[in-house]
């Protein structure tokens, strides 16, 4: 069974954004990761470490559309180019897939994601895609969180966590590191 791992930059109050802001991040604090926090390379080393474990990428439609056009031609993300990619969307058409960014498959439902997890292979990482991660968590399909938590409260933006009244979900801390700029790396396994 393959692990499904969410990885993201998160404010202390659970808002997920891309480092420099972008589509879907039109709240007044968009881009907070690079605007407000001192850059320390070691605080971002998790991203390089993850690459060793990544065998495929998964996105929601909006994140796919944002990342595919940026990462396809980025030297910093060249290692991701040939990895299989999965887009979970009921609206994305096959002819809307971005050319030249490796093999991409559209999954139409949480059942399709569950079936993918049953296949052979290693970890599948979800970058960004807060809404997708939230839905997959609620469906019991997320196995691990890789979070870089930033010392900022935003109050607005895409929330990683649901505010619905639901059963509690326990997490097991696998690893943590605090950095001098206030960023904290937290890696949690979801407890079944």
What are the structural domains of the chain? 1-22+52-160 (3.40.430.10)
pLDDT band at 94 (very low <50, low <70, confident <90, very high): very high
HSE of 126 in the Cβ direction (CA atoms, 13 Å)? 30
Residues 29-44 pLDDT 10s: 666 666 677 888 898 8
- Provide the percentage of residues in the chain whose pLDDT is more than 90: 52
- What pLDDT digit, counting tens, does each position of 131-175 carry? 999 999 999 999 999 999 999 888 777 888 877 777 888 999 999
Question: 104 near 87, Cβ under 8 Å?
Answer: yes
């Amino acid at each position: 069974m393959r692990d499904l791992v969410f990885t993201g930059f998160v404010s202390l109050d659970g808002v997920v954004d891309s480092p420099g802001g972008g589509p879907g991040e039109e709240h007044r604090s968009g881009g907070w990761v690079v605007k407000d926090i001192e850059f320390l390379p070691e605080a971002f080393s998790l991203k390089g470490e993850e690459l060793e474990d990544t065998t495929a990428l998964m996105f929601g439609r909006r994140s796919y559309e944002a990342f595919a056009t940026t990462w396809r031609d980025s030297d910093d993300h060249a290692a991701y180019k040939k990895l299989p990619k999965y887009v979970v969307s009921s609206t994305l058409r096959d002819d809307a897939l971005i050319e030249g960014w490796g093999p991409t498959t559209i999954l139409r439902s949480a059942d399709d994601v569950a079936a993918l997890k049953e296949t052979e292979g290693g970890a599948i990482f979800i970058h960004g895609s807060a809404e997708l991660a939230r839905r997959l968590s609620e469906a019991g399909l997320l196995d691990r969180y890789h979070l870089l938590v930033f010392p900022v409260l935003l109050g607005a933006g895409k929330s990683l966590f649901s505010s619905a009244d639901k059963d509690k979900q326990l997490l097991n801390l696998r690893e943590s590191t605090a950095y001098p700029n206030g960023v904290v790396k937290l890696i949690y396994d979801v407890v079944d």
